[in-house]
């Protein structure tokens, strides 16, 4: 009798552990998961159409798209704050070329713990983060732009992974507009 009670108690513990882990795992967006498997590496740029920093960095991001065709470049817009027309206007006005993934329920933002627009994240095809943060050091605080910059964090990370090496810098603190959850 005591043995059956312990067996039942262990079974309940294991069942509750599975429920706890299952309920606390990050939701996965199947469309996004399928999309990132198209290439070995993907760069994400979290955007907001009215963020001045997103507008400023859209052209340098476009340049990376051209320079590294072996890497997939995407923009991610999280939430329902802007309609399709506003996002299309952003792309038109800035001549933004990468596809824009609509993350309506913040699944992708939560998955990568994105907090700022623009925030850049380099991932592999399994979704593992290889670099996260600034594109470069041109903007170190809001309202202050450097005339020259020499730290190309995102591009250095791309070059490293393409050479089968880990990026020297894996994380920087992004600067920009707060991603509204």
Give me the CATH number covering residue 47. 3.40.30.10
* Residues found in the chain: 181
| Domain annotation covers residue 22 | no
| Domain annotation covers residue 138 | yes
The answer on pLDDT for 135 being more than 50 is yes
| Domain annotation covers residue 10 | no
| Domain annotation covers residue 11 | no
Domain region containing 115: 27-178
For residues 78 and 121, give the distance between their C-alpha atoms in angstroms, rounded to a whole number: 14
Least trusted range by pLDDT, from 113-117, 125-129, 135-139: 135-139
Q: Which tokens sit at 74? A: 């995407």
Query: Under a CB-based contact definition with an 8 Å cutoff, are residues 71 and 102 in contact?
Result: no
The answer on pLDDT for 140 being more than 90 is no
Q: What is the pLDDT of residue 180?
A: 81
Total domains in the fold of the chain = 1
Higher pLDDT, 40 or 9: 40
Q: What is the pLDDT of residue 143?
A: 67
For residues 107 and 85, give the distance between their C-alpha atoms in angstroms, rounded to a whole number: 22
The model's pTM: 0.83
The answer on pLDDT for 23 being more than 50 is no
For residues 162 and 56, give the distance between their C-alpha atoms in angstroms, rounded to a whole number: 26
| Domain annotation covers residue 163 | yes
């Amino acid at each position: 009798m005591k043995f059956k009670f312990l067996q039942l108690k262990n079974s309940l513990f294991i069942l509750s552990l599975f429920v706890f882990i299952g309920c606390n795992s990050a939701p996965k967006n199947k469309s996004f998961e399928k999309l990132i498997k198209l290439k070995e590496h993907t760069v994400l740029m979290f955007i907001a159409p009215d963020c001045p920093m997103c507008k400023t960095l859209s052209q340098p991001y476009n340049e990376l798209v051209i320079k590294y065709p072996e890497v997939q470049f995407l923009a991610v817009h999280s939430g329902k704050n802007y309609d399709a027309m506003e996002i299309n206007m952003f792309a038109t006005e800035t001549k933004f070329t990468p596809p824009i993934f609509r993350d309506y329920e913040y699944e992708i933002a939560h998955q990568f713990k994105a907090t700022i627009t623009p925030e850049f994240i380099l991932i592999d095809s399994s979704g593992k983060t290889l670099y996260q943060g600034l594109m470069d050091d041109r903007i170190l605080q809001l309202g202050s732009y450097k005339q020259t910059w020499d730290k190309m964090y995102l591009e250095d990370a791309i070059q490293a992974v393409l050479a089968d090496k880990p990026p020297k810098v894996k994380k920087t603190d992004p600067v920009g507009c707060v991603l509204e959850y």
